[in-house]
Structure 1
Protein backbone atom coordinates (compact mmCIF):
# COMPACT_ATOMS: atom_id res chain seq x y z
CA UNK A 1 0.00 0.00 0.00
CA UNK A 2 1.32 3.45 -0.90
CA UNK A 3 2.32 5.95 1.79
CA UNK A 4 -0.11 8.88 1.74
CA UNK A 5 2.02 12.05 1.90
CA UNK A 6 0.90 15.67 2.23
CA UNK A 7 3.51 18.39 1.63
CA UNK A 8 2.46 21.65 3.31
CA UNK A 9 4.07 25.01 2.63
CA UNK A 10 2.84 28.46 3.59
CA UNK A 11 3.77 29.57 0.03
CA UNK A 12 4.06 33.25 0.95
CA UNK A 13 7.62 33.99 -0.20
CA UNK A 14 7.01 32.45 -3.62
CA UNK A 15 3.83 34.46 -4.24
CA UNK A 16 5.15 37.82 -3.01
CA UNK A 17 8.89 37.82 -3.87
CA UNK A 18 9.91 37.34 -7.53
CA UNK A 19 13.47 36.37 -6.59
CA UNK A 20 12.17 33.49 -4.46
CA UNK A 21 9.66 32.49 -7.14
CA UNK A 22 12.57 32.25 -9.59
CA UNK A 23 14.27 29.70 -7.32
CA UNK A 24 11.07 27.77 -6.63
CA UNK A 25 8.71 28.40 -9.57
CA UNK A 26 6.33 25.67 -8.36
CA UNK A 27 6.77 26.64 -4.73
CA UNK A 28 8.87 24.97 -2.08
CA UNK A 29 6.09 22.40 -1.73
CA UNK A 30 6.34 21.65 -5.43
CA UNK A 31 10.10 21.10 -5.25
CA UNK A 32 9.79 18.83 -2.23
CA UNK A 33 6.97 16.82 -3.80
CA UNK A 34 8.96 16.49 -7.02
CA UNK A 35 11.92 15.04 -5.13
CA UNK A 36 9.76 12.57 -3.26
CA UNK A 37 8.10 11.44 -6.47
CA UNK A 38 11.46 10.96 -8.19
CA UNK A 39 12.88 8.84 -5.38
CA UNK A 40 9.84 6.99 -4.08
CA UNK A 41 7.69 6.61 -7.19
CA UNK A 42 4.65 4.43 -6.57
CA UNK A 43 5.66 3.95 -2.92
CA UNK A 44 3.86 7.25 -2.26
CA UNK A 45 0.70 9.10 -3.17
CA UNK A 46 1.38 12.83 -2.95
CA UNK A 47 -0.74 15.90 -2.39
CA UNK A 48 0.31 19.46 -1.62
CA UNK A 49 -1.41 22.13 0.47
CA UNK A 50 -0.75 25.78 1.31
CA UNK A 51 -1.77 28.43 3.78
CA UNK A 52 -4.21 30.08 1.36
CA UNK A 53 -6.22 26.89 0.78
CA UNK A 54 -9.51 26.46 2.68
CA UNK A 55 -8.61 25.14 6.15
CA UNK A 56 -5.00 25.54 4.91
CA UNK A 57 -5.61 22.43 2.82
CA UNK A 58 -5.62 20.34 6.00
CA UNK A 59 -9.22 19.33 6.56
CA UNK A 60 -10.18 16.38 8.73
CA UNK A 61 -10.60 14.32 5.57
CA UNK A 62 -7.14 15.21 4.25
CA UNK A 63 -5.41 14.49 7.56
CA UNK A 64 -7.33 11.26 8.06
CA UNK A 65 -5.82 10.18 4.74
CA UNK A 66 -2.28 11.41 5.43
CA UNK A 67 0.38 9.03 6.71
CA UNK A 68 3.19 11.60 6.70
CA UNK A 69 2.89 15.39 6.73
CA UNK A 70 5.82 17.60 5.69
CA UNK A 71 5.69 21.17 7.06
CA UNK A 72 7.52 24.27 5.80
CA UNK A 73 6.72 27.71 7.18
CA UNK A 74 8.58 30.93 7.92
CA UNK A 75 6.87 34.33 7.91
CA UNK A 76 3.24 33.35 8.45
CA UNK A 77 3.31 31.10 11.51
CA UNK A 78 0.80 33.37 13.25
CA UNK A 79 -1.67 33.00 10.38
CA UNK A 80 -2.08 29.26 10.87
CA UNK A 81 -5.44 28.59 12.49
CA UNK A 82 -5.19 27.14 15.99
CA UNK A 83 -7.99 24.68 15.22
CA UNK A 84 -5.92 23.24 12.36
CA UNK A 85 -2.87 23.01 14.63
CA UNK A 86 -4.91 21.07 17.19
CA UNK A 87 -6.21 18.81 14.42
CA UNK A 88 -2.65 18.04 13.29
CA UNK A 89 -1.51 17.48 16.87
CA UNK A 90 -4.22 14.91 17.47
CA UNK A 91 -3.32 13.12 14.25
CA UNK A 92 0.34 12.91 15.28
CA UNK A 93 -0.63 11.47 18.64
CA UNK A 94 -2.74 8.93 16.77
CA UNK A 95 0.18 7.83 14.58
CA UNK A 96 0.63 10.25 11.68
CA UNK A 97 4.28 11.03 10.99
CA UNK A 98 5.41 14.65 10.64
CA UNK A 99 8.57 16.12 9.12
CA UNK A 100 9.18 19.72 10.21
CA UNK A 101 11.59 21.57 7.94
CA UNK A 102 13.96 24.51 8.39
CA UNK A 103 12.14 27.56 9.82
CA UNK A 104 9.21 25.33 10.66
CA UNK A 105 11.03 25.04 14.01
CA UNK A 106 9.05 28.14 15.02
CA UNK A 107 5.70 26.83 13.76
CA UNK A 108 2.79 26.44 16.12
CA UNK A 109 2.67 22.70 15.59
CA UNK A 110 6.36 22.09 16.29
CA UNK A 111 6.31 24.23 19.44
CA UNK A 112 3.20 22.38 20.60
CA UNK A 113 4.85 19.02 20.00
CA UNK A 114 8.08 20.07 21.73
CA UNK A 115 6.64 22.10 24.62
CA UNK A 116 9.54 24.59 24.41
CA UNK A 117 10.29 27.90 22.67
CA UNK A 118 12.20 26.14 19.84
CA UNK A 119 14.32 29.29 19.48
CA UNK A 120 17.82 29.18 18.02
CA UNK A 121 20.74 31.31 16.84
CA UNK A 122 20.81 32.30 13.17
CA UNK A 123 22.74 34.32 10.60
CA UNK A 124 22.01 34.50 6.89
CA UNK A 125 25.21 35.07 4.91
CA UNK A 126 25.05 32.29 2.32
CA UNK A 127 27.55 30.13 4.19
CA UNK A 128 28.53 26.59 3.40
CA UNK A 129 26.87 24.04 5.67
CA UNK A 130 28.42 20.65 6.41
CA UNK A 131 25.81 18.14 7.58
CA UNK A 132 27.55 15.39 9.56
CA UNK A 133 25.88 12.02 10.09
CA UNK A 134 26.21 10.98 13.74
CA UNK A 135 23.87 7.96 13.51
CA UNK A 136 25.04 6.16 10.36
CA UNK A 137 22.84 3.12 10.99
CA UNK A 138 19.66 5.18 11.22
CA UNK A 139 17.23 4.66 8.30
CA UNK A 140 17.07 8.41 7.64
CA UNK A 141 20.85 8.48 7.07
CA UNK A 142 20.83 5.56 4.63
CA UNK A 143 22.91 6.41 1.56
CA UNK A 144 23.75 9.94 2.72
CA UNK A 145 27.29 11.22 2.04
CA UNK A 146 29.54 12.10 4.97
CA UNK A 147 29.44 15.04 5.15
CA UNK A 148 26.47 16.22 3.14
CA UNK A 149 27.56 19.59 1.73
CA UNK A 150 25.12 22.45 1.21
CA UNK A 151 26.95 25.14 -0.74
CA UNK A 152 24.93 28.14 0.45
CA UNK A 153 22.58 28.16 3.40
CA UNK A 154 21.31 30.20 6.32
CA UNK A 155 23.24 29.44 9.48
CA UNK A 156 21.28 27.87 12.33
CA UNK A 157 23.23 27.47 15.58
CA UNK A 158 22.99 26.46 19.20
CA UNK A 159 21.48 26.94 21.57
CA UNK A 160 18.45 25.25 20.00
CA UNK A 161 15.73 25.20 22.67
CA UNK A 162 14.24 21.76 22.11
CA UNK A 163 13.90 18.75 24.41
CA UNK A 164 16.77 16.27 24.31
CA UNK A 165 16.21 14.36 21.05
CA UNK A 166 15.35 10.70 21.21
CA UNK A 167 17.72 10.23 18.27
CA UNK A 168 20.34 12.66 16.99
CA UNK A 169 20.89 11.82 13.32
CA UNK A 170 22.69 14.89 11.91
CA UNK A 171 24.85 17.73 13.27
CA UNK A 172 25.76 20.70 11.06
CA UNK A 173 28.79 22.97 11.18
CA UNK A 174 29.25 26.42 9.64
CA UNK A 175 32.04 28.80 8.65
CA UNK A 176 31.65 30.87 11.81
CA UNK A 177 32.37 27.84 13.97
CA UNK A 178 28.77 27.23 15.00
CA UNK A 179 27.30 23.75 15.26
CA UNK A 180 23.62 22.78 15.18
CA UNK A 181 21.53 19.69 15.84
CA UNK A 182 20.16 19.69 12.31
CA UNK A 183 18.43 16.29 12.22
CA UNK A 184 16.58 15.05 15.30
CA UNK A 185 13.75 12.61 15.98
CA UNK A 186 11.02 12.26 18.58
CA UNK A 187 7.99 10.14 19.30
CA UNK A 188 4.77 11.85 20.33
CA UNK A 189 2.00 9.45 21.19
CA UNK A 190 2.06 6.93 18.35
CA UNK A 191 3.50 9.41 15.83
CA UNK A 192 7.09 9.91 14.69
CA UNK A 193 8.56 13.41 14.42
CA UNK A 194 11.66 14.41 12.43
CA UNK A 195 13.07 17.94 12.36
CA UNK A 196 15.56 18.70 9.56
CA UNK A 197 17.03 22.18 9.23
CA UNK A 198 18.66 22.58 5.76
CA UNK A 199 16.27 24.38 3.40
CA UNK A 200 16.07 28.18 3.48
CA UNK A 201 13.86 29.80 0.84
CA UNK A 202 16.70 31.91 -0.57
CA UNK A 203 18.73 28.92 -1.75
CA UNK A 204 17.81 25.96 -4.00
CA UNK A 205 18.40 23.44 -1.22
CA UNK A 206 15.29 21.35 -1.97
CA UNK A 207 16.55 20.79 -5.50
CA UNK A 208 19.72 19.15 -4.15
CA UNK A 209 19.69 15.36 -4.62
CA UNK A 210 21.20 14.59 -1.22
CA UNK A 211 18.58 16.69 0.60
CA UNK A 212 15.83 15.00 -1.38
CA UNK A 213 17.28 11.63 -0.36
CA UNK A 214 17.12 12.58 3.34
CA UNK A 215 13.46 13.57 2.99
CA UNK A 216 12.58 10.40 1.10
CA UNK A 217 14.27 8.29 3.77
CA UNK A 218 12.44 10.24 6.46
CA UNK A 219 9.05 9.71 4.83
CA UNK A 220 9.56 5.96 4.85
CA UNK A 221 10.77 6.09 8.45
CA UNK A 222 7.89 8.25 9.72
CA UNK A 223 5.07 6.35 8.02
CA UNK A 224 2.83 4.62 10.58
CA UNK A 225 2.90 0.85 10.69
CA UNK A 226 -0.80 0.49 11.44
CA UNK A 227 -3.38 0.99 8.71
CA UNK A 228 -5.77 2.69 11.14
CA UNK A 229 -4.93 5.32 13.72
CA UNK A 230 -6.67 6.32 16.90
CA UNK A 231 -5.81 8.22 20.04
CA UNK A 232 -6.43 6.30 23.28
CA UNK A 233 -8.93 8.06 25.50
CA UNK A 234 -7.65 9.40 28.79
CA UNK A 235 -10.10 7.70 31.11
CA UNK A 236 -10.47 5.11 33.82
CA UNK A 237 -9.73 1.52 32.81
CA UNK A 238 -12.73 -0.41 31.56
CA UNK A 239 -14.46 -2.51 34.15
CA UNK A 240 -13.42 -6.11 34.09
CA UNK A 241 -9.75 -5.60 33.20
CA UNK A 242 -8.84 -7.53 36.32
CA UNK A 243 -10.57 -9.99 38.61
CA UNK A 244 -11.04 -8.79 42.17
CA UNK A 245 -11.12 -11.44 44.87
CA UNK A 246 -13.53 -10.94 47.76
Structure 2
Protein backbone atom coordinates (compact mmCIF):
# COMPACT_ATOMS: atom_id res chain seq x y z
CA UNK A 1 0.00 0.00 0.00
CA UNK A 2 1.25 3.48 -0.88
CA UNK A 3 2.48 5.33 2.23
CA UNK A 4 1.71 9.06 2.18
CA UNK A 5 3.08 11.70 4.55
CA UNK A 6 0.92 14.84 4.66
CA UNK A 7 3.03 17.84 5.70
CA UNK A 8 1.60 21.15 6.86
CA UNK A 9 2.96 24.23 8.62
CA UNK A 10 -0.03 24.10 11.00
CA UNK A 11 0.42 27.72 12.04
CA UNK A 12 -2.61 29.56 10.63
CA UNK A 13 -5.05 27.08 12.13
CA UNK A 14 -3.66 27.71 15.63
CA UNK A 15 -3.33 31.48 15.30
CA UNK A 16 -6.30 32.65 13.23
CA UNK A 17 -9.93 32.06 14.24
CA UNK A 18 -11.17 32.27 10.64
CA UNK A 19 -8.80 29.53 9.52
CA UNK A 20 -9.53 27.45 12.62
CA UNK A 21 -13.25 27.56 11.82
CA UNK A 22 -12.58 26.04 8.38
CA UNK A 23 -9.86 23.58 9.44
CA UNK A 24 -10.20 23.07 13.22
CA UNK A 25 -7.82 20.09 13.24
CA UNK A 26 -5.51 21.51 10.58
CA UNK A 27 -5.41 21.39 6.80
CA UNK A 28 -3.26 18.28 7.05
CA UNK A 29 -5.96 16.34 8.88
CA UNK A 30 -8.56 17.04 6.15
CA UNK A 31 -6.14 16.00 3.39
CA UNK A 32 -4.96 12.93 5.30
CA UNK A 33 -8.53 11.80 6.06
CA UNK A 34 -9.51 12.12 2.39
CA UNK A 35 -6.45 10.15 1.28
CA UNK A 36 -7.11 7.52 3.90
CA UNK A 37 -10.65 7.11 2.56
CA UNK A 38 -9.18 6.81 -0.94
CA UNK A 39 -7.22 3.76 0.21
CA UNK A 40 -3.79 5.18 1.04
CA UNK A 41 -1.88 4.65 4.27
CA UNK A 42 -1.36 8.13 5.71
CA UNK A 43 0.59 9.89 8.42
CA UNK A 44 1.00 13.60 9.13
CA UNK A 45 3.93 15.86 9.94
CA UNK A 46 4.05 19.54 10.89
CA UNK A 47 6.59 22.33 11.07
CA UNK A 48 6.94 22.53 14.85
CA UNK A 49 7.62 18.85 15.40
CA UNK A 50 11.26 17.76 15.90
CA UNK A 51 12.96 17.82 12.49
CA UNK A 52 9.63 19.21 11.18
CA UNK A 53 8.28 15.68 11.47
CA UNK A 54 10.45 14.64 8.52
CA UNK A 55 13.07 12.43 10.10
CA UNK A 56 15.15 10.13 7.95
CA UNK A 57 13.03 7.21 9.18
CA UNK A 58 9.78 8.97 8.22
CA UNK A 59 11.00 9.89 4.74
CA UNK A 60 12.48 6.44 4.15
CA UNK A 61 8.99 5.08 4.83
CA UNK A 62 7.26 7.65 2.59
CA UNK A 63 6.25 6.91 -0.99
CA UNK A 64 4.60 10.30 -1.58
CA UNK A 65 4.95 13.54 0.41
CA UNK A 66 2.30 16.26 0.16
CA UNK A 67 3.39 19.78 1.16
CA UNK A 68 1.29 22.75 2.30
CA UNK A 69 3.16 25.84 3.49
CA UNK A 70 2.53 29.57 3.51
CA UNK A 71 3.79 31.87 6.26
CA UNK A 72 6.91 30.12 7.51
CA UNK A 73 8.83 28.87 4.47
CA UNK A 74 12.05 30.39 5.84
CA UNK A 75 11.75 28.39 9.07
CA UNK A 76 12.17 25.06 7.28
CA UNK A 77 15.72 24.00 8.05
CA UNK A 78 18.03 23.55 5.09
CA UNK A 79 19.20 20.10 6.18
CA UNK A 80 15.56 18.92 6.07
CA UNK A 81 15.18 20.46 2.61
CA UNK A 82 18.30 18.57 1.51
CA UNK A 83 16.77 15.39 2.86
CA UNK A 84 13.45 15.91 1.07
CA UNK A 85 15.04 16.79 -2.27
CA UNK A 86 17.35 13.80 -2.13
CA UNK A 87 14.41 11.48 -1.47
CA UNK A 88 12.56 12.97 -4.44
CA UNK A 89 15.53 12.32 -6.70
CA UNK A 90 15.67 8.78 -5.37
CA UNK A 91 12.01 8.23 -6.30
CA UNK A 92 9.69 9.65 -3.64
CA UNK A 93 6.72 11.52 -5.11
CA UNK A 94 6.08 15.14 -4.10
CA UNK A 95 2.70 16.90 -4.28
CA UNK A 96 3.07 20.66 -3.73
CA UNK A 97 -0.15 22.45 -2.79
CA UNK A 98 -1.24 26.09 -3.20
CA UNK A 99 1.27 28.49 -1.58
CA UNK A 100 3.77 25.66 -1.31
CA UNK A 101 5.06 27.04 -4.61
CA UNK A 102 7.34 29.23 -2.45
CA UNK A 103 8.51 26.34 -0.29
CA UNK A 104 12.21 25.61 -0.16
CA UNK A 105 11.91 22.08 -1.59
CA UNK A 106 9.84 23.21 -4.58
CA UNK A 107 11.94 26.27 -5.46
CA UNK A 108 15.13 24.24 -5.18
CA UNK A 109 13.80 21.44 -7.36
CA UNK A 110 12.48 23.93 -9.94
CA UNK A 111 15.58 26.16 -9.93
CA UNK A 112 13.48 29.34 -10.34
CA UNK A 113 11.82 31.93 -8.09
CA UNK A 114 8.34 30.37 -8.53
CA UNK A 115 6.89 33.88 -8.15
CA UNK A 116 3.42 34.87 -9.37
CA UNK A 117 0.65 37.47 -9.10
CA UNK A 118 -1.95 37.05 -6.35
CA UNK A 119 -5.11 38.68 -5.03
CA UNK A 120 -7.37 37.66 -2.15
CA UNK A 121 -10.88 38.73 -3.15
CA UNK A 122 -13.06 35.60 -2.72
CA UNK A 123 -13.52 35.35 -6.49
CA UNK A 124 -14.70 32.44 -8.60
CA UNK A 125 -12.09 30.07 -9.98
CA UNK A 126 -12.80 27.77 -12.91
CA UNK A 127 -10.22 25.00 -13.04
CA UNK A 128 -10.18 23.58 -16.58
CA UNK A 129 -8.96 20.09 -17.45
CA UNK A 130 -6.46 20.36 -20.32
CA UNK A 131 -5.46 16.68 -20.42
CA UNK A 132 -8.60 14.59 -19.82
CA UNK A 133 -6.68 11.38 -20.49
CA UNK A 134 -4.09 12.03 -17.79
CA UNK A 135 -4.35 9.84 -14.66
CA UNK A 136 -4.51 12.92 -12.41
CA UNK A 137 -7.71 14.03 -14.18
CA UNK A 138 -9.41 10.66 -13.82
CA UNK A 139 -13.02 11.00 -12.70
CA UNK A 140 -13.02 14.81 -12.99
CA UNK A 141 -15.55 16.72 -15.09
CA UNK A 142 -14.49 19.13 -17.82
CA UNK A 143 -13.86 21.73 -15.15
CA UNK A 144 -14.06 22.27 -11.38
CA UNK A 145 -15.85 25.40 -10.23
CA UNK A 146 -14.67 26.92 -6.95
CA UNK A 147 -17.00 29.63 -5.67
CA UNK A 148 -14.44 31.50 -3.56
CA UNK A 149 -10.70 31.36 -4.12
CA UNK A 150 -7.52 33.37 -3.84
CA UNK A 151 -6.37 34.44 -7.30
CA UNK A 152 -2.98 33.33 -8.62
CA UNK A 153 -2.02 34.88 -11.95
CA UNK A 154 0.62 34.58 -14.64
CA UNK A 155 3.41 34.92 -15.10
CA UNK A 156 4.18 31.93 -12.89
CA UNK A 157 7.99 31.75 -12.82
CA UNK A 158 8.43 28.00 -13.16
CA UNK A 159 10.08 25.79 -15.78
CA UNK A 160 7.71 24.66 -18.51
CA UNK A 161 5.87 21.63 -17.07
CA UNK A 162 6.43 18.21 -18.57
CA UNK A 163 2.62 18.01 -18.68
CA UNK A 164 0.10 20.75 -17.86
CA UNK A 165 -3.04 18.98 -16.61
CA UNK A 166 -5.08 21.98 -15.36
CA UNK A 167 -5.28 25.69 -16.01
CA UNK A 168 -7.36 28.19 -14.03
CA UNK A 169 -9.49 31.16 -15.01
CA UNK A 170 -10.47 33.69 -12.35
CA UNK A 171 -13.40 36.05 -12.12
CA UNK A 172 -11.06 39.03 -12.26
CA UNK A 173 -9.74 37.91 -15.65
CA UNK A 174 -6.40 36.26 -14.85
CA UNK A 175 -5.33 32.76 -15.88
CA UNK A 176 -2.84 30.42 -14.22
CA UNK A 177 -1.08 27.09 -14.81
CA UNK A 178 -2.63 25.21 -11.90
CA UNK A 179 -1.71 21.56 -12.40
CA UNK A 180 1.93 21.02 -13.37
CA UNK A 181 3.78 17.70 -13.67
CA UNK A 182 7.55 17.33 -13.44
CA UNK A 183 10.18 14.67 -13.00
CA UNK A 184 13.38 15.21 -11.04
CA UNK A 185 15.71 12.22 -10.96
CA UNK A 186 13.48 9.21 -10.30
CA UNK A 187 10.81 11.26 -8.50
CA UNK A 188 7.56 12.67 -9.85
CA UNK A 189 6.34 16.11 -8.75
CA UNK A 190 2.87 17.61 -9.13
CA UNK A 191 2.05 21.23 -8.29
CA UNK A 192 -1.67 21.83 -7.63
CA UNK A 193 -2.84 25.42 -7.06
CA UNK A 194 -6.23 25.38 -5.24
CA UNK A 195 -6.27 25.49 -1.45
CA UNK A 196 -6.14 28.87 0.34
CA UNK A 197 -6.43 28.49 4.11
CA UNK A 198 -9.54 30.66 4.63
CA UNK A 199 -11.66 28.81 2.06
CA UNK A 200 -12.98 25.22 2.47
CA UNK A 201 -11.37 24.06 -0.77
CA UNK A 202 -9.86 20.86 0.65
CA UNK A 203 -13.37 19.80 1.72
CA UNK A 204 -14.38 19.80 -1.99
CA UNK A 205 -14.73 16.21 -3.20
CA UNK A 206 -13.38 17.00 -6.67
CA UNK A 207 -10.27 18.63 -5.19
CA UNK A 208 -9.82 15.62 -2.91
CA UNK A 209 -10.12 13.37 -5.96
CA UNK A 210 -7.39 15.28 -7.81
CA UNK A 211 -5.04 15.06 -4.82
CA UNK A 212 -5.68 11.32 -4.50
CA UNK A 213 -5.12 10.83 -8.23
CA UNK A 214 -1.89 12.82 -7.99
CA UNK A 215 -0.64 10.66 -5.12
CA UNK A 216 -1.32 7.50 -7.14
CA UNK A 217 0.47 8.99 -10.17
CA UNK A 218 3.48 10.18 -8.15
CA UNK A 219 4.02 6.95 -6.23
CA UNK A 220 7.26 5.13 -7.10
CA UNK A 221 6.96 2.38 -9.67
CA UNK A 222 8.81 -0.93 -9.87
CA UNK A 223 11.17 0.06 -12.67
CA UNK A 224 14.88 -0.75 -12.60
CA UNK A 225 17.22 1.25 -10.38
CA UNK A 226 19.80 3.04 -12.55
CA UNK A 227 23.49 2.83 -11.75
CA UNK A 228 26.11 5.48 -12.48
CA UNK A 229 29.86 5.87 -12.68
CA UNK A 230 32.59 3.74 -14.24
CA UNK A 231 31.06 0.58 -15.70
CA UNK A 232 32.56 -2.80 -16.50
CA UNK A 233 31.76 -4.06 -20.03
CA UNK A 234 28.88 -6.51 -20.36
CA UNK A 235 30.57 -8.18 -23.37
CA UNK A 236 34.19 -9.06 -24.11
CA UNK A 237 35.94 -6.15 -25.80
CA UNK A 238 39.34 -5.67 -27.38
CA UNK A 239 41.44 -3.55 -25.03
CA UNK A 240 44.72 -3.92 -26.92
CA UNK A 241 44.64 -0.28 -27.99
CA UNK A 242 43.64 1.02 -24.56
CA UNK A 243 45.47 4.19 -23.68
CA UNK A 244 46.14 5.43 -20.19
CA UNK A 245 45.64 9.03 -19.22
CA UNK A 246 48.36 10.39 -16.94
TM-score bin, normalised by smaller chain: over 0.9
CA distance in 2 between partners of 1:57 and 1:232 (Å): 31
CA distance in 2 between partners of 1:200 and 1:170 (Å): 17
Q: Secondary structure at the match of 2:166?
A: strand
* 2:13 paired residue number: 14
Asked if 2 retains the 8 angstrom alpha-carbon contact of 1:90 and 1:231, the reply is no
CA distance in 1 between partners of 2:154 and 2:47 (Å): 29
Counterpart pick for 1:99 among 91, 95, 98 = 95
CA distance in 2 between partners of 1:244 and 1:59 (Å): 49
CA distance in 2 between partners of 1:153 and 1:166 (Å): 26
What does 1:61-76 correspond to in 2, within 5 Å? 61-76=57-72
Q: Secondary structure at the match of 2:45?
A: strand
* 2:35 paired residue number: 36
CA distance in 2 between partners of 1:209 and 1:18 (Å): 24
* 1:210 paired residue number: 206
Are positions 1:130 and 2:126 aligned together? yes
Q: TM-score, normalised by structure 1?
A: 0.94
Return 5+ residue gaps in structure 2 as ranges: 241-246
Aligned length: 239
Counterpart pick for 1:238 among 210, 213, 231 = 231
Asked if 2 retains the 8 angstrom alpha-carbon contact of 1:138 and 1:169, the reply is yes
* 2:113 paired residue number: 117
CA distance in 1 between partners of 2:227 and 2:50 (Å): 29
Q: Secondary structure at the match of 1:211?
A: helix
CA deviation digits over 1:133-186, x for unaligned, max 9? 000000000111221011100000100000000000000000111000000100
CA distance in 2 between partners of 1:164 and 1:62 (Å): 31
* 2:75 paired residue number: 79
Q: TM-score, normalised by structure 2?
A: 0.94
Asked if 2 retains the 8 angstrom alpha-carbon contact of 1:132 and 1:146, the reply is yes
